[in-house]
Structure 1
Amino acid sequence: MYKLCFFVPASHVEQVKQAVFAAGAGRLGNYDSCSWQVLGQGQFRPLAGSEPYLGQTGVVEQVSEYRVETLCAGDCIEAVIEALRQAHPYEEPAFDVWRLEAHLMQRR
């Protein structure tokens, strides 16, 4: 089991969540489409050679973004990451993947 955390502009949060859910993320027991999100402020500066969705090359950009966390089984993590990349508007979406200890997540 993995925990996926990604950052996405407010304008695309539902689109990206639906894509990762369709690829298999967000399932826990008898539930699906499970996630947690919080709105924050992202910052980046596009460098030479980039093709930014937002902002201008060489200029620091600040944008309202959601941090979204969800669970993902190991057998679909690669498909979920590919779905994230395809649905996300940014050239280089920011995300991290954490491996979870499955035996600690099991119900006793």
Structure 2
Amino acid sequence: MYQLIFYVPATHKELVKEAVFAAGAGRIGNYDHCAWECLGTGQFRPLAGSNPFLGQENHLHLVDEYRVELVCADEYIQAAVQALRLKHPYEEPAYTVFPISPI
């Protein structure tokens, strides 16, 4: 089992979540579409050669983003990450995958 955490602008949150859910993530027992999310502020500065969805090259940009956390079974994690990267508007989406184990 894995925990998948990603950051996404409010404008694309539901689109990305639906893609990750469709790939098999967010299932706990007899429930699906399980996730936790929190609104915060992300920041980044696009460097030379980047193709930013938001902001301008060499200028710091702040954006309202959601942190979304969910669990994902081993057999779906590769597809879930692929779906996340495909539907996310950023050239380089920020995400983390942690292995978790039941007690």
What residue in structure 1 maps to residue 64 of structure 2?
64
Runs (4+) off by over 4 Å: none
What residue in structure 2 maps to residue 48 of structure 1?
48
Residue 11 of structure 1 aligns to a residue in which SS?
helix
Q: CA RMSD for the aligned pairs? A: 0.4
CA–CA distance in 2 between the matches of 1:42 and 1:2?
24
Alignment length, in residue pairs?
Answer: 103
- Output the TM-score relative to the length of structure 2: 0.99
Q: What runs of 5+ residues in structure 2 fail to find an aligned partner? A: none
**Amino acid across the alignment from 1:86:** L
Q: What runs of 5+ residues in structure 1 fail to find an aligned partner? A: none
CA–CA distance in 1 between the matches of 2:76 and 2:17?
15
CA–CA distance in 1 between the matches of 2:38 and 2:14?
13
Q: Which is greater in Rg? A: 1
Identity %: 60
Q: How far did residue 11 of structure 1 move?
A: 0.5
Q: How far did residue 13 of structure 1 move?
A: 0.4
What residue in structure 1 maps to residue 97 of structure 2?
97
- Output the TM-score relative to the length of structure 1: 0.94
Q: Deviations over 1:34-62 (max 9, x none)?
A: 00000000000000010000000000000
Residue 50 of structure 1 aligns to a residue in which SS?
coil
